[in-house]
Structure 1
Amino acid sequence: MIGFLQGKASTVYSGGIFRRAAVIFLLLASAVAGVMFLLFHVQWGAALAVTRANEEKAAEIARQRIVTELDSVLLDIRYLTQQQFLKRWFERGDSTSLIDLANEYRLFSMEKRVYDQIRLIDLSGREQVRVNWNAGNPEVTPRSRLQDKVDRYYVHETLKLSPNEVYISPFDLNLEEGAIEQPIKPMIRFGALAHDADGNRKGMVILNYLGKRLISRIKALTDQTSGHLWLLNQEGYWLIGPTPADEWTFMYPDTRGRSFANSHPTAWARIKGSDVSGQLMDGGNLFTYSKIVSLASNLPPAKPDSNPTFTTTEQNWFVVTQVSSDGLANRRLELLEYFVLAFFALAILLILVAALVARHAQRRKEAEQHWRDSEKRFRSLLESAPDSVVITDTEGKIVLVNAQSEMLFGYQRESLVGQPVEMLLPDRFREQHVGHRRGYLSGAKARPMGLGLELFGLRSDGGEFPVAISLSPVETDEGKLVISSIRDVTEMHEAAREINNLNNRLERDNNELLALNKEMEAFSYSVSHDLRAPLRAIDGFSQALLEDCADVLTENGKSHLERVRQAAQRMGYLIDDLLKLSRVTRSELQIGTVNLSLVAQGVVDGLLESGARPDVNVTIAPDLIARGDARLLGIALENLIGNAWKFTGDRPSARIEFGQRITNGKSAFFVRDNGVGFDMAYADQLFRAFQRLHDAREFPGTGIGLATVQRIIRKHGGDVWAESETGKGAAFYFTLQQEKAS
């Protein structure tokens, strides 16, 4: 490439110019090399600092995960030593209490899923309760299979504890009949004494914690470190090591010499002697470590007035990350290669710069040609513009127009160029336009002209037409120019007039609708007043006949009068519900933020206060927020929850739920019950007024409630529907559209 550029330069310039370019290149290249050398050292220091910070972060996260996990176990053992089932057995000592305690341990194991065994051992070392994890299906060990553990080290160690102490065993592998269980099962045993109500020692709780969970959580952090992430015990053996063969070697007689302490003795001496955490370099390797100490130091007290915490026996582990010397060297080499490549790229660029200087004259000539081509393209774009474009100078003289200007104003462009732009305006606007034009030039910027005013253009034949004008200033070598884009808006004005006519018509229609609504209100009042009076008379006189003439009426006659009263009362209920439905239809929405959970709870409280069945299990999801009319939505929920209450009346364990879920990509609220349900074949009749799917004698009502619900939801721009199966309950769903008004 250099040879090509040299040959090219020799065809254009003299040898002296080429030598000058070579000297400039060498000077620039030397300066760039020095700068890049300094940048390399700075960048490597920054990269090493980032690596150190990342390793510290990975070690700290691993430490926090271990502490959090083990603190959780400490909370569990504190709970188990203080739970009421254990206290009850200490007090009673009967088999029933012991069975309850064993079942409680089994449920606890099933919930926690981290304990291989949960045991209660008495002070003599005899197991009283043992729950085995059993591969995810916890089981209580029969009393015939309970064992004597008096010879186990963790029993002896736990018996040495004070009341507020917890024994933590070494982290090792589980043994079965003296041999390491296969596949291996990492285990930590936690022990604590249990006391009766008088503070007397009665036994101990032993938890066999499955260490596989803790190891998995630490190994999951491997991606956050640049090298290896290890876990060491307090003797320097790997619990999580470079390879599976390096782990748990202290458990096997033939591998006890393989450990971190033996592989990196200098690093181990500093790590073991450290209080908490740190970093060190050893043999070119970067080690970052964090010591696991002070278990249970941050746990809350068991009771508000008790000691703030309890203590644990000393068991220390170490989280260690290693970035090997080879890894650091490879990173340094990669960074060096990057800078070397960057230097060569810059060197090539410098060669190109030198060549470009030699071609400056040619480039200038090409730039001039490019400018001419750009001007040609500009004129082409100007001519193809859909609107009229008129360009004027600071004196208001027309400099350039396009073909659309000729068509719009009816002039030839030769007769426009050099003329004042005011010739395109009606006479009544010309004088004031001169002042407006000068004011625009004092603070010129792109904007529409004459905001809020009606603008008109003038054709060569004297005809006027409405226009919309946009102004844009532009700086050129000849000075400032103003580009005016002019559009004939005759059709737009006609459309605006049509829209105004339609708005006036809509206003008249709305006024007529308001009048009709007022008439409807008067009619509703009249219906309510005129129909109630005869109904009350029918009901009252029928009751008077029953009371005053009871001795002369036959049983059949009394039955007829009772049916007359019931029909009159039912007619009254129908009138009330019809009026409610009419009010809902005419109500104006008062949109606001509504907590439907609180509204639903208010409905339930009202039903209970009115004497509704009190043993219904009602579940209301918390903080269900919607936008709508609080009063109308309350009426809707009153009907839905009231129906659910009514139709679960014959259920021994009635359940009602109010919640929210996503249906077809939309958020829908629902009221679900386990009542009598209905046949979905009749679902299309549910929301019709006076339609009922059940016997009114068994489930009283007028059939207006669901019709009212549907009108309320539709006023909110939403939808309502139901799902059910006969005998298996029903679910009513509704959606709401925010800020929607009918």
Structure 2
Amino acid sequence: MPYRSALGLLAIAGVAALVGTRIVQIEEAARVDDAVVEIDAMATRVRAWTRVAVSDVRYLADVAVASHLHETGANLDAIHQDLVGFMLDNQEYLQVRWLGNDGRERIRIDRTARGLVRASDDRLRDRSQQNYVRNALTLADGEVFLSPIAPNTEREQNGQSLEATFRLATPVNVPTFGREGIAVLNLDTRFFFEELSVGAVTRGSAQVFLIDPDGHALYHTSPGRVSIESAERLPGPLETAIRADRKPEGRLHDAEGIWLWRTIDLGGQRHWHLMTRLPTSLLHRSALWTWLGVAFASLVAAGIYMAFVVLRRQLQQSVQMQQALEISAQAARDRAATAEHLREAESRFRILTEVSPNGLVLVSADGRILHANESAYTLFGHPPGSLDGRPIETLVPDGLRQRHAQLRQGFMQAPGRRAMGSGLELRGHRADGTQVPIEVGLSSFDSDNQTVVLATITDISERLRNEAELAGKAQELEQTVGMLEVANEELSELAYAASHDLRAPIKTLRAQLARLQSRHQQVLPEEGRKLLAYAIDAGARLETTANAVLDFARVIERPSTLETLSLPDLVQEVIGDLSADISASDADVRIDDRASTVCAVRGRPAQLRLLLQNLIGNAIKYRAAERSPEVRIGWQQRNGRCEISVSDNGIGIDPADQEKIFSLFGRLHHQGRVAGVGLGLTLARKIARGHGGDLQVESIPGRGSTFRFCLAAVEPEVTRQA
């Protein structure tokens, strides 16, 4: 045990060391990540600052100076007004000037403690020897010269305070006149340096440098350490690393901490380096407290571990004693529980047998009744308890008792669970000598080292009476169906004959009315012409009705045999049959692109053609007035069925009317506008149901409808054999 305790303490110490080291690493990494985010933000502000300054000096050259020179000549007052307005809008600029091609100041605006002051002519200077002037005069149009940040000695010569200044200069190009000197803008860098100082403060003791290309510090966040005049240089290893790396960003670890830098491109092959240093003291500021916390946690964990070891040893001894006592007590409880379970099992068995509606009889291996429930005594008419110990053959009719004893002995050789006398009519012998029809289920189980059979006996007298009654009802129903089929055939023949015989006189009537209209319409009075038009329209509707009734009679006659049909071919044939109506209505009727090119179904060709003609024809007729009809016929095959759909963009059907359209002669409010008698959808649904499916509609008023029905599909191999 001491050996294990020592190992546990060593493990705790090792884990504490790993955790402490990891926490310190995470804290240092977090500080470095914060510094990276801040230096990136500062670099972004420097770039934005320089871009704005470049844009402003170009504005001065192109607008404030060049435009006035082009429009008014050398009107210095107009230029002065623009320059003053510019300085008022931009407080970070110290001075703005226009110099001629000879390098002499033509106009200069200074920001002083008294405000903006225009230099008088006697205070304008010759700046041709200044480096920024010489460089700017050599630039191409649009190029900008950016000077280093340096003390403004010119400002000191003008009697003003010495300040760190950043100059930008660009040529002034006047249309039709050419090059007219340069525009110069002096920036007060204090605005920018204040932003860098604010950023550095957020990270405590971190330091920020702004370095020129020669490695001189232009700015440092430590007050009093670096000024514009001091030109303090970077540490040698850091300057060497920056020059050797030549990358826009990087980092360097040394004994004093971590250096991070970003290179800022100023244009014209000029650049600055923005740098920050994280001192080692800043990185490790919380390391001491971290290690103290880890050490304290380790001591607490070691104390808890040792307490656990002692308590565990005492607990093991207590558990061993408890287990010995528990084993002894459990043995006594098991014996008592076994006896109680036996009593409960016997009680449950007796309750189950007594409440069962079926007769239950327990039979020993030698065929004697061990127990029978109340339902068994009631079924066979014996007094309760009188069957115990008697042979089971007591309940078997006299002529079958010897045969039953032989069958019982055969069952006991291979006992199991099965129905007794499968396929035979079994009867039981009642105490009064009558017989009762029964069903018997047998199951066996072992009890006290002997096989016992449980016979479940059901009285089926009521069921046999119900079956006989159902057989009689079925025969009556079959006779009624036969009579209905005969009546249906007679009705179909009558409708067929009536509609067929009416077609000829209706055609004659329509022809005579048309002849009367063509020959005598002009001599008829107005009322006569109206009555003649009504008669012609009624004749057309009568002929349509007769044709619809004839189609209906053909559908309800004895159905023909089913054939294997190509659904794409059938749809194309129907579209061809309706080509005249399609052209007249400028309808777009075609098969849906998502439908498969091969699909075979089982159906009656003439009926399916009539079904599709009705659906597509209705889609064309019941169109919306504001758009041309669009009809799509599609299908989808799955689980041995093919679902066909016909969709349109017509007027749609109100949900309350969607079942009315399938009724015989059922029409909606479109009767006066669209020809028809109201039999089309009735026929269509009857055809769909005659093929083992149904016709359903989904519709949105004003947007269109979709009709769907199903047909039996033919598998591909069956189609190939056909």
TM-score after normalising by structure 1: 0.44
TM-score after normalising by structure 2: 0.45
